[in-house]
A and B are shown apart, each in its own frame.
Chain A
Amino acid sequence: MSENPLAPRSRALPRRLNEIKAWTRSIYDLDDGVAISVAEIACRDEDCPDIETVIGIMRPGEQIEIVRVHKLLVDILFDDLKQIAS
């Protein structure tokens, strides 16, 4: 069956945001004192994909660690984060 390209779709962003934070906390073994921030931006650098997700890991007293995932936020899998962390 063909897919209607204009059909409503839900990206469920608030839920996905929390999911990615939880995965990051688990993979990087971060306690509650470490803040995590997630943003989706479109990169205009020719060497990068159009859209990427940026995760900021904010350990108290340290410089923010930025993790880039070259995917839309909704497309990120647990294994993507695990692979980047390894």
Chain B
Amino acid sequence: MTKIPVFLLTGFLGAGKSTLLNRVLGDPAFADTAVIINEFGDVAIDHDLVRQGRSRVSRTTTGCLCCTIGSDIRSTLCELHELAAAGEASFSRVIVETTGLADPAPLVNELIPGGTPAMGLRDHLVARHFDLAGVVTLVDFVTGDLSIENHFEAGKQVAFADRIVLTKMDLARDPVTLKDIDALKSRLAVLNPAAQICDGKDPSALFLPRRYAPVALGEDVAGWLALETALRVEGAAHGAGGEASPPSLFDRHGGRIRTFTIIRDEPIAEKAIQHFLAVLTGHAGPRLLRAKGLIAIAENLERPLVVHAVQHVVYPPVRLEDWPSEDRRTRLVFITDGIDPEPVRELFESTLDPDANPFRQILAALGKGVSETLRSRAASLRLPRARRNAN
């Protein structure tokens, strides 16, 4: 029996996974692709940012696939299989777009022979019908190096790849930047000598069936998979003692990672949202791991704006032809490294509506720690009005 190939599409936050997925799904030869989009955060918007044909089978999961210890990926694949068996769907490959914070080890373990043991009918069914065919990892050449230095997940995503795609290459124009690309390629080749490093010009080629062999990826990958299994066994033993069950025992992203959303019913001036993102990235820099959103623009209510910011970089916004779903509210999702939601929300409100909060109240609300700079900036945006009032 031929198994359905499953591909993991991974890469750190903002590496361009949805963009690449859109390009692949735009290829008629890939019309028979089932897509699983995993998002980190309570409000899912990635599924709205990925074009899906009417016949496309897609599933969105929130929470982190790697932190739910694989249960989600097997459940979702099982669901897809049942749809196909009932004649309600037809697909010949599955692409799983992971969250940018995903640790590939537990996902790979769930999908390879000899990985996490099948525990029930569902797991046996998934093992019988699906096969992990490849791990495609995107590395943003602008922020990739910094992400690998600072985030354990970014390094593991590179290590588990059998295809590495360098993205945002169009931003490299001068000789110095081109040299940076060569340096990054050399570094990636050291981190993962077995992976092919590609430029992504032919994205469909990345998802052609092949054999994914973690053993060929070196000692680190084999070690992480084995450690993953050992921790799971240890967790199961812990749970059997009447204590916490394995899935809730640990996660992989540390207490410093925060995810939060801003939702707004009223439309926003285009200049205001650009100002907000410029101020936010200018002050938060590498601690703003990702901001992305669909914005209801006051100047054109029918055509929402897609905005992206990664660390210190704000990418040019893209105006969609129309709203991808019934939900026409502005939705912004943030993933940060140690920045609390409140100062970001204050900054947002200040940028959009300088009259919303008196300057003194903002000053009184100044906090300590990582939020201080953003709060100060939020306050300074209101300074001219406050001065006027004082006069």
Contact = CB atoms under 8 A, between A and B. Distances in A.
A28 to B, nearest CB: 15
A53 B253 CA distance: 12
A50 B283 CA distance: 27
B287 interface: yes
Interface in B217-261: 219-220, 222-224, 226-228, 230-231, 234, 243-244, 248-255
B2 to A, nearest CB: 34
B391 interface: no
A56 B287 contact: no
Nearest to B238: A45
Chain B interface SS verdict (over half): helix
B230 A56 contact: yes
B227 A39 contact: yes
A1 interface: no
Nearest to A64: B230
A6 B255 contact: no
Contacts of B155: 13-14, 17
A17 B150 CA distance: 12
Given A5-B373, A11-B149, A13-B151, A37 B252 contact: no
Given A5-B370, A10-B149, A14-B191, A42 B223 contact: no
B254 A50 contact: yes
B153 to A, nearest CB: 9
A44 B230 contact: no
A56 B244 contact: no
Given A42-B255, A50-B255, A66-B234, A13 B249 contact: no
A76 interface: no
Contacts of A14: 148-149, 155, 191
Interface in B86-135: 105
A10 B286 CA distance: 10
Interface in A30-83: 35-37, 39-45, 50-51, 54, 56, 58, 63-64, 66, 72-73
Contact of A9 (B150, B222, B250): B150
Given A39-B224, A50-B255, A64-B230, A44 B244 contact: yes
A56 B223 contact: yes
Interface string A1-27: 000111111111110010000000000
Interface residues of A, number: 32
A17 B156 CA distance: 12
Contact of A56 (B227, B250, B255): B227
Contacts of A66: 227, 230-231, 234
A51 B374 CA distance: 26
A56 B173 CA distance: 44
Interface residues of B, number: 41
B370 A6 contact: yes
B150 A6 contact: no
A42 B372 contact: no
A78 B250 CA distance: 25
A8 B285 contact: yes
A36 to B, nearest CB: 7
Nearest to A8: B286
Contacts of B373: 4-6
Contact of B252 (A4, A17, A42): A42
Nearest to B230: A64
B248 A44 contact: yes
Contacts of A36: 223
Nearest to B257: A42
Interface string B166-206: 00000000000000000000000001000000000000000
Interface of B: 105, 146, 148-152, 155, 191, 219-220, 222-224, 226-228, 230-231, 234, 243-244, 248-255, 283-287, 339, 369-370, 372-374
Given A42-B252, A45-B249, A63-B230, 19 more contacts: A6-B284, A6-B370, A6-B374, A8-B146, A8-B285, A9-B150, A35-B219, A35-B222, A37-B223, A40-B252, A41-B250, A41-B252, A42-B250, A42-B254, A43-B249, A51-B254, A54-B231, A66-B227, A73-B152
7 contacts: A5-B369, A5-B372, A5-B373, A6-B285, A6-B287, A44-B249, A66-B230
Q: Which 8 residue pairs are nearest across A and B when measured between Cβ atoms?
A: A37-B223, A56-B227, A50-B255, A64-B230, A5-B370, A37-B227, A42-B254, A41-B250
